[in-house]
Amino acid sequence: MFLSFIFTAFISILKILLVVLPVLISVAYITLVERKVIASIQKREGPNFVGFFGLLQPIADGIKLLIKETLYPSHSIKLPFVFAPMFIFFINLLGWLVIPLGEGIVISDLDIGVLYLFVISSFSVYGLLIAGWCSNSKYPFLGGLRAAAQMISYDVSMGLILLSIVVTVGSMNLTQIVLAQSNIWFFIPHFPGFCLFFLSVLAETSRTPFDLPEAESELVSGYNTEYSSMMFALFFLGEYVSILLMSSLINILFLGGWTFFFPFNFLSSSFIFAIKTVFIIYLLIYIRATLPRYRYDQLMALGWLYFLPFSIAWLLISFTLVSLF
């Protein structure tokens, strides 16, 4: 009995490592891709000195942040100040437990996977609020308040769009949602919901043009202004883990996950999943490089006056069509 328990625990830890380690490596190189793409759009070279074509730049950045001294502002509240970035990073990693990265490649194939992801994404609000409050500085505090208000506002719209997909499939299991798109991706029948969800993801992950919690022109860097060295790196990693997670979720909900059409269906399911996710991440990067930032009042008005009524309407339309046909 004891040996069986040890073996089961070992297999579970191995499965977690096989998902988490590639995610962390992907996050490191997403930052490099982002810098290269933005540099190309702005007619400059980007990082190209560390390693061939700059391929070792993320590793150099990670080592630099790891060995730098961690500074604790004298006015900060120490324990929550240290806890906040670790909490955000850990919470964003937890979301990967239910993401199917290919056919049969998932740590925990929960029947309530959609609900689990929605709850996990909501928890990161607490980390941002704690980081802004415990810094005892006006810019981080304003950034934390902005982040909380923004994420709560757009969580509502995202939840309603998720419900429209759940109503269509009849299941909250993410694998079942992917399999339901074997004939047609939900990107086509749920196109308005896809557009709304994509824009809500931009706001949820604080990406341009909705990067108000970190607005450099107003708040220096927002909730992470007082952080340095590895604690700042944990904020950075948590943000990009969240971006990768949300891009994967868009892929699963609207682009068929690992499914593909006839000429290319011989490819590995994980490879197909990765290609689609990278395409979504490229769109997020392109938007960052080309669009200006919204004002904060415009951001909140967009969420409550336009996104919320439209997402409710789309849920009702989806429910009606599924009930009739």
Q: DSSP letters of 92-143? A: HHHGGGG---BTTB-S---TTHHHHHHHHHHHHHHHHHHHHHHTT-HHHHHH
pLDDT digits (tens, 9 = 90+) for 17-63: 777 888 888 888 898 889 899 998 888 888 888 888 888 888 888 88
Q: Which two tokens stand for residue 16?
A: 């977690």
pLDDT digits (tens, 9 = 90+) for 85-113: 889 888 888 888 889 888 878 888 888 88
Instruction: Using the structure block, give the residue that is written with the tokens 């399999």.
Output: 179
Query: What's the rounded Cα separation, in Å, for the pair 209 and 121?
Result: 20
Q: What is the pLDDT of residues 249-270, one digit of tens each?
A: 999 999 988 888 756 555 677 8
Question: What six digits make up the tokens of 114?
Answer: 């959609």
How many other C-beta atoms are found inside a 10 Å radius of the C-beta of residue 194?
20
| Average pLDDT score over residue span 239-247 | 91
Domains of the chain, by residue range, sit at 71-324
Output the pLDDT for position 1: 66
- pLDDT beyond 70 at 194: yes
What's the pTM value of the predicted model, to 2 decimals?
0.90
Cβ–Cβ contacts within 10 Å for residue 278, how many? 16
Task: Identify whether the C-beta of residue 94 lies closer than 8 Å to the C-beta of residue 47.
Answer: no
Q: Which residues contact 11 (CB under 8 A, 6 or more apart)?
A: none
